A = this chain, B = another copy of it.
Amino acid sequence: MPELRRDPIVGRWVIISTERGGRPQDVSMPSAPLPSASMCPFCPGQERLTPKEILAYRPHASEPDSPNWTVRVIPNKFPALHVEGDMGREGLGLYDRMNGIGAHEVIIETPNHKEHLADLPANRVEDVLWAYRDRILDLKKDLRLRYILIFKNQGATAGATLEHSHSQLIALPVVPTSVLEEIDGCRQHFQQKERCIYCDILRQESTEGTRVVLENPEFVCLTPYAPRFPFEMWILPKRHAGYFEECQRTQFEFLAPMLGEALRRMDTVLARPAYNFILHSSPLHEKTGDYYHWHIEIIPKLTQVAGFEWGTGFYINPVSPEEAAKALRDAEI
């Protein structure tokens, strides 16, 4: 059973998940090359290689765990958290722990091994967003779960271990530190001003214009004022909303093409980099609706600038967001 442990100083929870087996030092071995299409467990026809599917969109009715799907959601074969078991909350002197209760799922975004999320037409990106939403709404019924993290690692240097385009969902019994920090910041701003800080940012950015990459009736894609990473982008809904899963259908119709275009512009400017994206949405059962504003963060992984940053919380960024936004806007896609 994986274990959640809390750092007693800063309150950060980490998952200690040692079930992949092998000697501890083997984590340090260079990754094997990502498997090619012939042995890819995410390709149609190889459904037996994965755990049983949780959800699949099939344009023409077909059996579960058979081909002919466009999006398929499966449990992670090496889950960082398990659904079964009790919480096992416990104090050990100064320390706090609990069992690694939660869910860890994989959203296979396309049946085509070589296709990236950026390559999909808007209606198929929309399907991926619907899959995120459907899974969040389903998992939200389990009251032990407090937060759902949806993220994508594209490329080996961003942490992907399989080439076939996919995102991941981790449902947690705690709220991650980064989300708590954002929520605290939002709450403070709201208490002072009775306004959502992200709404204020959207107004200021839209007036200034220099950091806006894309805009449509429902969403804005911008490079943030104080980005940690070169070419970091945020996509924010214009309408104030705390919960991604409460998006209306028309919003997904505007989000999907913007997400695709943002990724294609990034791919053009940065020569198809490895990247992460992370969906920041409200904790499942806490009332943050007035002051928190869901959004997506896209972070290209440009290896030589990532250094000690993840160990210090301190960032040196060699590209201003104004330059990055201009290069992204000017890209010919």
Question: In chain A between 292 and 333, which residues have their CB closer than 8 angstroms to a CB of chain B?
Answer: 297, 299-300, 302-321, 323-324, 327
* Nearest B residue to A325, CB-CB: B24
Contact residue among B5, B278, B308 (Cβ-Cβ distance under 8 Å from A278) = B308
Q: A10-B185, A94-B201, A201-B94 are in contact. Are A316 and B15 (CB under 8 A)?
A: yes
B residues in contact with A302, CB < 8 Å: 27-28
B residues in contact with A229, CB < 8 Å: 311
- Shortest Cβ gap from A165 to chain B (Å): 15
CA distance A323 to B22 in the complex (A): 12
- Shortest Cβ gap from A271 to chain B (Å): 7
Question: In chain A between 222 and 249, which residues have their CB closer than 8 angstroms to a CB of chain B?
Answer: 224-231
CA distance A12 to B239 in the complex (A): 26
In the bound complex, do residue A226 and residue B13 qualify as a contact, i.e. CB atoms below 8 Å apart? yes
- Shortest Cβ gap from A272 to chain B (Å): 10
- Shortest Cβ gap from A320 to chain B (Å): 5
Q: A224-B7, A318-B20 are in contact. Are A31 and B158 (CB under 8 A)?
A: no
In the bound complex, do residue A17 and residue B317 qualify as a contact, i.e. CB atoms below 8 Å apart? yes
CA distance A130 to B316 in the complex (A): 26
- Tell me if A182 counts as interface (CB < 8 A to partner B): yes
CA distance A189 to B81 in the complex (A): 30
Q: A6-B226, A153-B307 are in contact. Are A314 and B95 (CB under 8 A)?
A: no
Interface centre among A156, A229, A299, A315 (most CB of B within 10 A): A315
Interface string of A11-51 (1 = CB under 8 A from B): 11111111010011101101100000000000000000000
Q: A9-B185, A151-B308 are in contact. Are A24 and B324 (CB under 8 A)?
A: yes
Question: In chain A between 255 and 304, which residues have their CB closer than 8 angstroms to a CB of chain B?
Answer: 269-271, 273, 276, 278, 297, 299-300, 302-304
B-contacting 9-mer, from A63-71, A109-117, A119-127, A173-181: A173-181
**Looking at chain A's contact residues, is the secondary structure mostly helix, strand, loop, or mixed?**
mixed
Interface string of A202-237 (1 = CB under 8 A from B): 001000100000000000000011111111000000
In the bound complex, do residue B17 and residue A204 qualify as a contact, i.e. CB atoms below 8 Å apart? no
- Tell me if A251 counts as interface (CB < 8 A to partner B): no
In the bound complex, do residue B177 and residue A313 qualify as a contact, i.e. CB atoms below 8 Å apart? yes
CA distance A320 to B25 in the complex (A): 11
B residues in contact with A6, CB < 8 Å: 226
In the bound complex, do residue A9 and residue B197 qualify as a contact, i.e. CB atoms below 8 Å apart? yes
* Nearest B residue to A22, CB-CB: B318
In the bound complex, do residue B159 and residue A18 qualify as a contact, i.e. CB atoms below 8 Å apart? no
- Tell me if A8 counts as interface (CB < 8 A to partner B): yes
In the bound complex, do residue B24 and residue A323 qualify as a contact, i.e. CB atoms below 8 Å apart? yes
CA distance A282 to B224 in the complex (A): 30
In the bound complex, do residue B313 and residue A181 qualify as a contact, i.e. CB atoms below 8 Å apart? yes
* Nearest B residue to A273, CB-CB: B28
